[in-house]
C-alpha cells in the first residue's frame, strides 16, 4: 500500500524560480525523509524531518511537516538546471517497523 504520495507528478520551471513539491501520507509517522534521484541513478538523501518538527532548512531546501494534515512540502529556492531530478518522500509506517515506504516521486525539470 502506498504510504507517501507526491504531488505534482511532474513540474517544469525556469531557472531561478522556486519549486514546491508536496507529499501526503496515510498513517502516523515518526519521521519523513526526502530523497533526490538523477535519472536512472541511486537515490541521494536530502533531509529528514521528525514528527515533532514543523520546519527544517538545508541550504536552498526548506521542508515543512504538518502532521495534522499528514502532509509535507519540499521547497527548492532559486532553482538551477542541476536540480533537474526526481524527488521522493519516504515515511516509516510507525509501530517500530523497519519498513520505509517511498512515494512515486515528482519529476522536476528546471529549464535554463
Partner 1 sequence: EAQVTQNPRYLITVTGKKLTVTCSQNMNHEYMSWYRQDPGLGLRQIYYSMNVEVTDKGDVPEGYKVSRKEKRNFPLILESPSPNQTSLYFCASSFWQTSTDTQYFGPGTRLTVL
Residues within the interface to partner 1 (CB under 8 A):
1-2, 30-31, 33, 35, 40-45, 48, 88, 90-93, 97-105
| Minimum CB–partner distance for residue 50 and partner 1 (Å) | 8
Residue with cell 538523501: 45
Identify which of residues 41 and 69 has a Cβ nearer to partner 1 in the complex. 41
Hey, what's the torsion of the CAs at 51, 94, 85, 12, to 10 degrees?
-70
| Minimum CB–partner distance for residue 84 and partner 1 (Å) | 18
| Minimum CB–partner distance for residue 69 and partner 1 (Å) | 21
Identify which of residues 48 and 75 has a Cβ nearer to partner 1 in the complex. 48
DSSP characters over 16-70 = TS-EEEEEEESS--SEEEEEEE-TTS-EEEEEEEETT-SEEEETTEEEEEETTTT
Amino acid at each position: 500500500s502506498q504510504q507517501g504520495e507526491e504531488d505534482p507528478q511532474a513540474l517544469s520551471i525556469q531557472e531561478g524560480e522556486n519549486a514546491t513539491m508536496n507529499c501526503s501520507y496515510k498513517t502516523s509517522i515518526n519521521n519523513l525523509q526526502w530523497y533526490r534521484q538523477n535519472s536512472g541513478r541511486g537515490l541521494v538523501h536530502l533531509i529528514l524531518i521528525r514528527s515533532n518538527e514543523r520546519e527544517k532548512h538545508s541550504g536552498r531546501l526548506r521542508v515543512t511537516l504538518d502532521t495534522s494534515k499528514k502532509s509535507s512540502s519540499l521547497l527548492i529556492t532559486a532553482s538551477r538546471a542541476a536540480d533537474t531530478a526526481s524527488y521522493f518522500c519516504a515515511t516509516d509506517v510507525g509501530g517500530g517497523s523497519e519498513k520505509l515506504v517511498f512515494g512515486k516521486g515528482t519529476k522536476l525539470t528546471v529549464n535554463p
